[in-house]
């Protein structure tokens, strides 16, 4: 049995132990204020129906929008598309009621992230917030290099069908891959929002300030616009870093001078 298989089975057993009674009837129903499993990079508390799945592509162009050393203009470089990109692929599966597992691989550091998410509260039960527990482990070099486990929460508050505000307190162990120092871990609080401006069009934004521990550079920040078409979500975004995993978010951005265009495409299979 491979290491990856053992990890997925362990997550399934752990979530099954804590799984209470549930009602899955409305999990497949669209929540207009929270239509996707991520804001841009940060996870949301959106539930995945039992035995259903989802897929996501992340794409971050390598050329900064304002590039002082590039031989061509941003327009001359095809809006930055000529210089390659950091691409990530994600698959998620509703492994138990209220619980989902996610496998995500990104070209950056050749990192693979295994994540489990379990829904703790539901608005339909009269709770003011939807809260999900998160646990993940990420490994560089296709999960053979340096490992960075993380735990946290995805907390969502919604205002009708128009606005969703997300607060994600997350602790990442071994966030610093460059050197062995005392402040090797990072605790950050991701803050994101999704505003519905038309029936299927949204504005999204997020920032993840580091509260304690390893915190180089600037917090990772991003904003964008997206459109929902059936089970698809098409998002055009701009960020100050290429990070998309929980550990990469903890590492932040080098500065706020360089911003990069990118996009996310997600698809629900339910």
Give residue 8's pLDDT: 46
Q: Could you tell me if residue 212 is inside a domain?
A: yes
Domain extent, residue 180, equals 3-17+31-269
> The pTM is what?
0.88
Residue 46 lies in a domain: yes
Please provide the DSSP assignment of the chain as one string.
Answer: --HHHHHHHHHHHHHHHT------TTTTS--TT--SSBSSSSB------TT-EEEEEEEEEEEESS-SS-SS-TTTTTTTGGG-EEEEEEEEEEEETTEEEEEEEETGGGEEEEEEEEE---GGGT-SSEEEEEEEEEEHHHHTS-EEEEEEEEEEEEETTTEEEEEEEEEETT---S---S---EEEEEEEEEEE-SSSEEEEEEEE-EEEE---SB-EEEEEEEEEETTEEEEEEEESS---SHHHHHH-BS-SS--EEEEEEEEEE-
Can you give the pLDDT of all 270 residues of the chain as single tens digits?
Answer: 555 545 445 544 444 444 444 445 578 999 999 999 999 999 999 999 999 999 999 999 999 998 877 888 878 788 878 889 999 999 999 999 999 999 999 999 999 999 999 999 987 777 789 999 999 999 999 999 999 999 999 999 999 999 999 999 999 999 998 766 666 899 999 999 999 999 999 999 999 999 999 999 999 999 999 999 999 999 999 999 999 999 999 999 999 999 999 999 999 999
Specify if 24 maps to a domain.
Answer: no
Residue 161 lies in a domain: yes
In a domain? residue 223: yes
Q: CATH number of the domain that 76 lies in? A: 2.40.160.40
Asked if residue 230 is part of any domain, the answer here is yes
Q: Structural domain tally of the chain?
A: 1
- Does residue 22 lie in a domain region? no
């Amino acid at each position: 049995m491979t290491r990856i298989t053992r990890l997925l089975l362990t997550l399934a057993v752990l979530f099954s132990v804590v799984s209470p009674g549930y009602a899955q009837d409305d999990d497949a129903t669209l929540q207009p204020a929270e239509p996707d499993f991520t804001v841009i990079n940060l996870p949301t508390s959106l539930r995945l129906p039992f035995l259903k799945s989802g897929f996501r592509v992340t794409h971050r162009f390598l050329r900064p929008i304002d590039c002082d050393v590039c031989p061509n203009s941003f327009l001359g470089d095809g809006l930055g598309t000529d210089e390659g990109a950091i691409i990530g692929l994600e698959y998620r599966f509703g492994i138990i009621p209220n619980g989902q597992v996610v496998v995500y691989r990104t070209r950056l550091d050749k990192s693979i992230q295994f994540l489990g998410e379990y829904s703790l509260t539901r608005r339909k039960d009269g709770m003011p917030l939807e809260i999900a527990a998160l646990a993940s482990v990420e490994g560089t070099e296709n999960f053979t290099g340096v490992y960075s486990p993380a735990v946290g929460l995805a907390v969502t508050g919604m205002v009708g069908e128009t606005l969703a505000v997300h607060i994600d307190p997350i602790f990442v162990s071994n966030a610093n891959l460059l050197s062995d120092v005392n402040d090797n871990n990072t605790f950050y609080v991701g803050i994101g929002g999704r505003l519905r401006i038309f029936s299927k069009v949204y504005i999204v934004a997020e920032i993840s300030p580091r509260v304690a521990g390893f915190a180089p550079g600037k917090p990772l920040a991003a904003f964008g616009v997206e459109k929902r078409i059936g089970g698809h979500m098409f998002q055009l975004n701009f960020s100050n870093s290429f990070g998309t995993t929980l550990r990469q978010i903890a590492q932040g951005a080098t500065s706020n001078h360089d911003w990069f265009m990118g996009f996310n495409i997600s698809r629900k299979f339910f």
